[in-house]
Amino acid sequence: MSKPSLARGTRDFGPEQMAKRTFIFDTIRRSFQRYGFLPLETPSFENLSVLMGKYGEEGDQLLFKLLNSGDFSGKLTEDDWKEGYKPLTSKISEKGLRYDLTVPFARYVVMNRGTLVMPFKRYQIQPVWRADRPQKGRYREFYQCDADVVGTDSLLCEAEIVTLLHDILPALGITDFTVKINNRKILTGIADVIGAQGMEGPLCVAIDKLDKIGKDKVVEELLERGFSSDSITLLDPIFTLSGEGDPFAELKSLLSGSEIGLKGIEELEEVWVLVKTLGLENPKIQFDVTLARGLSYYTGAIFEVKANNVQIGSISGGGRYDNLTGTFGVPGISGVGISLGVDRIYDVMEELGLFPESQKTSTKVMISNFDNDAFKYGLSILPKLRNAEINAEIYPDSVKLKKQLDYADRKNIPFVILIGSDEMQSGLLTLKNMKTGEQHKLSADDIITHLTSAAL
């Protein structure tokens, strides 16, 4: 017999936490629905052939792989062991836990493309798993809330993602946030212009750290990653490019030699215009050339949302992927989406004290259990309360009143009905208000009326 323990990076959610989490889920779901997204659920695990290769090399490593069931090692040879763990893994594992909701969604779209109404807008709220090393705000099991549109190139989708975020976050009480936006095409353009074609991958990784480690360290890293010093010199104006003034105009002259780079800027300008047309006042959006995001499938706009004044990573991220379904044999379906991290949003709200008070009350009234006769009498009252839509319970054991009231107190139950011989004889039950301590003798019907109208 060993002490029970939680698997690394996982958590239980007690009743109190669940009340808060449900609040977050409900708020997000309501906004998704208001924008016309339809619900979808996909399995917790998928064939590895679906998941592998979609998140870069790093991502493949972070996939939780499921060991084949049964005699998974029966057909292995000595050589299989000697080849190392990577080839071995593919021989003993064919399935893995989902890493995000976007790839399973792409799989779903491909498999159902004949029946879907295009453009298809879906939302999906489910847990995902990553074999990461846990840290503050980083878990191995966490929920994502995704909303994606596939089957249209319209930049309205990007603009609607911006307004959607401005709907959800303030509804949760998070008012101080920044939606950072960039475009992969701009990053590609930069790589072209500085003579490092095709190297936007490593360029992104390094440039992404600018605000964290500073220009000098970024330059250092770029040199290590094989960029020539000429290229880095050409990159210089990018470093000094700030969100102020008209960064687009500045960038345009820098990228004048790159068709794709200019396209990226054009797209972003269009998004800005659409956001304004949609009537969003004081949009908290910021163009950030250094925003890169590692996920390899993004091709257009990329988003990241940061809650300000808290030490927690981004609470949301997303972007446009032109060819995600291409890897499943169906090219030409463009999609764009956003993913919100409930667990990080929870941490942010906890840190800022944003959860509304008194969500705790679940039972409104408890019937006491004085003795066997009173218990039976109470059982006849209980369904009347419930039929009147009042959350009610009866104490199951005939123990001392002290204990029963203590139970009600600790469970935050605002009212208790006391039933003894007097009450049974007269039919007038004692209703006790746990907050004020007041008691009144009332008929069962009057109690129902009173509880239905009571503010609590």
Partner RNA sequence: GAGGUUGUAGCUCAGUCGGUUAGAGCGCUAGAUUGUGGUUCUAGAGGUCGCGGGUUCGAGACCCGUCUCCCUCCCCA
Q: How far is the CB of 430 from RNA (least distance, A)?
A: 5
For the chain, counts of helices (H) and of strands (E): 18, 16
**Shortest distance, CB of residue 362 to RNA, whole angstroms?**
16
Strand partners, 339: 146, 317
Least distance (Å) from RNA to the CB of residue 382? 17
Q: Please, what is the minimum distance in Å from the beta carbon of residue 168 to RNA? A: 13
Residue 131: how many other CB atoms lie within 10 Å: 15
Q: Which is nearer to RNA, 6 or 455 (CB)?
A: 6
Q: How far apart are CA 391 and CA 448, in angstroms?
A: 11
Residue with Cβ nearer RNA (268 or 295):
295
Q: Choose between 185 and 293: whose C-beta lies nearer to RNA.
A: 293
Rounded CA separation 315/305 (Å): 6
Cβ proximity to RNA: between 265 and 367 the closer is 367
Shortest reach from residue 205's CB to RNA, in Å:
4
Alpha helices in 182-296 (DSSP H): 184-193, 200-207, 210-224, 229-240, 247-254, 259-277
Q: How far apart are CA 18 and CA 286, in angstroms?
A: 33
Residues near RNA, by CB under 7 A: 1, 3, 5-9, 56, 58-59, 61-62, 100, 130, 132-140, 142, 144, 205, 208-209, 212, 293-295, 304-305, 313-317, 339-341, 343-344, 370, 400-403, 405-406, 408-410, 418-423, 430, 432, 434-437, 439
Q: How far is the CB of 431 from RNA (least distance, A)?
A: 10
Q: Minimum CB separation from RNA for residue 271, in Å?
A: 19
Task: Using the structure block, give the residue that is written with the tokens 């060991």.
Answer: 67
Give the shortest CB-399-to-RNA separation in angstroms.
7
Whether the CB-CB separation of 47 and 94 falls below 8 Å is answered with yes
Q: Least distance from C-beta 343 to RNA, angstroms? A: 5
Angle separating helix axes 444-453 and 372-387, nearest 10 degrees: 50
Task: Measure the CA–CA gap between 87 and 67, rounded to whole angstroms.
Answer: 14
User: Nearer Cβ to RNA, position 226 or 257?
Assistant: 226
229 touches 252 (CB < 8 A): no
Specify whether the CB–CB gap between 419 and 374 falls below 8 A: yes
> For residues 50 and 179, which CB has a smaller minimum distance to RNA in the complex?
179
The CA-atom distances, in angstroms, between 286 and each of 255, 261, 281 are: 20, 18, 14
Judged by beta carbon, residue 134 or residue 173, the one nearer RNA is: 134
Nearest to RNA of 279, 437 (CB atom): 437
**Closer by beta carbon to RNA, 309 or else 387:** 309
Q: What count of Cα atoms within 13 Å lies in the side-chain half-sphere of residue 174?
A: 30
Q: What is the Cα–Cα distance from 421 to 373, expressed in whole angstroms? A: 8
Q: Which of 134, 31, 46 is nearest to 343 (CA)?
A: 134
Hey, how many other C-beta atoms are within 10 angstroms of the C-beta on 149? 25
Nearest approach in angstroms of CB 195 to RNA is 22
Q: At its nearest, how many Å lie between RNA and the CB of residue 422?
A: 4
Q: Got the DSSP string for 8-54?
A: TT-----HHHHHHHHHHHHHHHHHHHHTT-EE----SEEEHHHHTTS
Distance CA 344, CA 177 (A): 13
Toward RNA, which CB reaches closer, 94 or 132? 132
Beginning with the edge strand found earlier in the chain, give each strand of the sheet holding 93-97 in spatial order: 45-47, 93-97, 65-67
> Which residues contact residue 448 at a Cβ distance below 8 angstroms, ignoring those fewer than 6 apart?
384, 385, 388, 390
- Residue with Cβ nearer RNA (151 or 317): 317
